[in-house]
Amino acid sequence: MPLTFDLKAVCGDARAGVIHTDHGDIQTPIFMPVGTAGSVKAVHQQELKDEVKAQIILGNTYHLYLRPGCDILRQAGGLHKFNAWDRPLLTDSGGFQVFSLAANRKLKEEGVTFRSHIDGSRHLFTPEGVMDIERVIGADIMMVLDECCPGDADYRYAKKSMELTHRWLDRCITRFAETEPLYGHHQALFPIVQGCQYADLRRISAEYIASKEPEGCAIGGLAVGEPTEVMYEMIEVVNAILPKDRPRYLMGVGTPQNLLEAIERGVDMFDCVMPTRNGRNGLLFTAEGTINIKNKKWETCFEPIYKDYTLAYLHHLIRAEEILGLQICSIVNLRFYLWLVGEARNHIVAGDYAAWKGGMVAKLGRRL
Rounded CA separation 249/64 (Å)? 21
Find out whether 249 and 189 touch, Cβ atoms under 8 Å.
no
Strand partners, 112: 107, 125
Find out whether 17 and 249 touch, Cβ atoms under 8 Å.
no
Order of strands, edge to edge, in the sheet holding 192-193? Answer: 30-32, 269-271, 248-250, 217-219, 192-193
Q: Which helix (H) or strand (E) holds 292?
A: strand 289-292
Tell which residue, 144, 241, 147, has the closest CA to residue 200.
241
Rounded CA separation 166/144 (Å)? 10
**Residue 119: DSSP 8-state:** T
Find out whether 1 and 16 touch, Cβ atoms under 8 Å.
no
Find out whether 249 and 269 touch, Cβ atoms under 8 Å.
yes
Residues in contact with 296: Cβ distance below 8 Å, sequence separation at least 6, in sequence order: none
Rounded CA separation 87/171 (Å)? 29
Rounded CA separation 150/137 (Å)? 28
**Residue 235: DSSP 8-state:** H
Q: List the catalytic residue out of 140, 146, 268, 271.
A: 271
Rounded CA separation 7/10 (Å)? 8
Residue 176 amino acid letter: F
Told to judge if 92 belongs to the known catalytic residues of this protein, a careful annotator would answer yes
Told to judge if 271 belongs to the known catalytic residues of this protein, a careful annotator would answer yes
Q: List the catalytic residue out of 6, 71, 92, 245.
A: 92
Q: Which residues are catalytic?
A: 92, 271
